[in-house]
């Protein structure tokens, strides 16, 4: 990338893997998500997602166990998280520059906005987000996944409103039964393999309630 004149500004561990590092508990995650912030002059260098608020490319390295390494090369990205508990990014530059440093320091931030509040949600197993209508699929599947793991709404009084937003966006992005079923199958296979009956039941109940 440096030889091509497009060096990344930094390397960041993102999403569930970053939450796993930040959590005092064993926060499970499916993918290793790395972000490479970059600066480019035009959108021709990004052939995946390009628009007014988005300009980035994604490369996924999959295996047979539903786990993958995701490499995201980002000029700009409107939405980089679904919920506060998976909104963390850890800058890895100090580790990569000197892997044998005796006391390496890394910088952690939250795309949710308030890193202390997001950390509290992570440790207390609470669900919260902002503007769920911006999330593709509304974050519905991840929300149901968190419920099966014992997470609860950080703001119970807003829970029904949040679910309505998530379901509305889910039905917009996946308007027919075929696309809904395909999205559901892909999510379950990528995150659980065959052990997905409990999550499947939660997702179906929420969808049926708001349909």
pLDDT value, residue 96: 84
Residue 60's pLDDT band, with cuts at 50, 70 and 90, is: confident
Whether the CB-CB separation of 26 and 16 falls below 8 Å is answered with no
Co-location of 95 and 133 in the same domain: no
Tell me: pLDDT of 67 over 80. Answer: no
Tell me: pLDDT of 211 over 60. Answer: no
Domain termination site, one of 81, 102, 124:
124
Co-location of 5 and 29 in the same domain: yes
Separation CA 36–CA 207 (nearest Å): 35
Mean predicted confidence (pLDDT) in 167-191: 85
Mean predicted confidence (pLDDT) in 107-134: 92
Co-location of 120 and 144 in the same domain: no
Rounded to the nearest integer, the mean pLDDT of the chain is 82
pLDDT value, residue 48: 67
Cα four-point dihedral sign 49, 54, 59, 62? negative
Co-location of 149 and 119 in the same domain: no
Mean predicted confidence (pLDDT) in 14-25: 87
Residue 11's pLDDT band, with cuts at 50, 70 and 90, is: very high
Co-location of 174 and 83 in the same domain: no
Co-location of 120 and 155 in the same domain: no
Beta strand extents in the chain (DSSP E only) = 12-14, 31-37, 49-50, 55-62, 68-76, 88-91, 107-110, 126-127, 152-153
pLDDT value, residue 200: 61
pLDDT value, residue 55: 85
CATH number at 105 reads 3.30.460
pLDDT value, residue 83: 94
Residue from 135, 29, 8, 122 nearest 80 by CA: 135
Co-location of 91 and 140 in the same domain: no
Q: Six-digit token pair at 123?
A: 């440790």
Co-location of 9 and 32 in the same domain: yes
Of 107-111, 167-171, 202-206, least confident by mean pLDDT is 202-206
Mean predicted confidence (pLDDT) in 43-68: 73
pLDDT value, residue 203: 62
User: What Å distances lie between residue 121 and 35, 154, 189, CA to CA?
Assistant: 23, 7, 27
User: What Å distances lie between residue 17 and 64, 154, 198, CA to CA?
Assistant: 19, 22, 23
pLDDT value, residue 40: 73
Tell me: pLDDT of 10 over 80. Answer: yes
Residue 108's pLDDT band, with cuts at 50, 70 and 90, is: very high
Helix (H, G, I), strand (E, B) or coil at 17: helix
Domain termination site, one of 124, 145, 175:
124
pLDDT value, residue 131: 85
Co-location of 24 and 63 in the same domain: yes
Co-location of 101 and 139 in the same domain: no
Please give the backbone phi and psi of residue 33, each rounded to the nearest 5 degrees, phi first.
-110, 115
> By residue range, what is the domain housing residue 174?
125-210
Residue 41 DSSP class: S
Co-location of 111 and 186 in the same domain: no
Co-location of 36 and 112 in the same domain: yes
Whether the CB-CB separation of 95 and 78 falls below 8 Å is answered with no
Domain termination site, one of 73, 102, 124:
124
Tell me: pLDDT of 120 over 90. Answer: yes
Mean predicted confidence (pLDDT) in 25-49: 76
Residue 70 DSSP class: E
In the chain, the number of structural domains is 2
Separation CA 35–CA 209 (nearest Å): 36
């Amino acid at each position: 990338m440096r030889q091509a004149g497009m060096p990344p500004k930094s390397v960041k561990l993102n999403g569930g893997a970053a939450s796993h590092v930040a959590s005092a508990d064993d926060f499970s995650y499916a993918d290793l998500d790395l972000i490479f912030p970059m600066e480019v002059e035009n959108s021709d260098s990004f052939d995946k997602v390009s628009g007014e608020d988005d300009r980035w490319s994604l490369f996924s390295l999959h295996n047979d166990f539903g786990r993958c390494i995701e490499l995201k090369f980002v000029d700009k990205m409107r939405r980089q998280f679904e919920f506060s508990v998976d909104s963390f990014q850890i800058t890895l530059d100090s580790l990569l520059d000197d892997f044998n440093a005796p006391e390496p320091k890394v910088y952690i931030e939250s795309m949710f906005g308030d890193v202390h509040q997001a950390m509290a949600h992570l440790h207390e197993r609470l669900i919260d987000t902002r503007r769920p209508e911006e999330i593709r699929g509304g974050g519905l599947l991840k929300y149901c996944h968190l419920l099966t793991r014992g997470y609860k709404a950080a703001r119970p009084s807003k829970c029904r409103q949040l679910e309505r937003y998530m379901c509305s966006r889910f039905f917009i992005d996946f308007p027919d039964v075929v696309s809904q079923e395909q999205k559901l199958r892909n999510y379950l296979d990528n995150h659980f393999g065959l052990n997905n009956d409990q999550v499947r039941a939660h997702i179906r109940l929420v969808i049926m309630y708001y349909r």
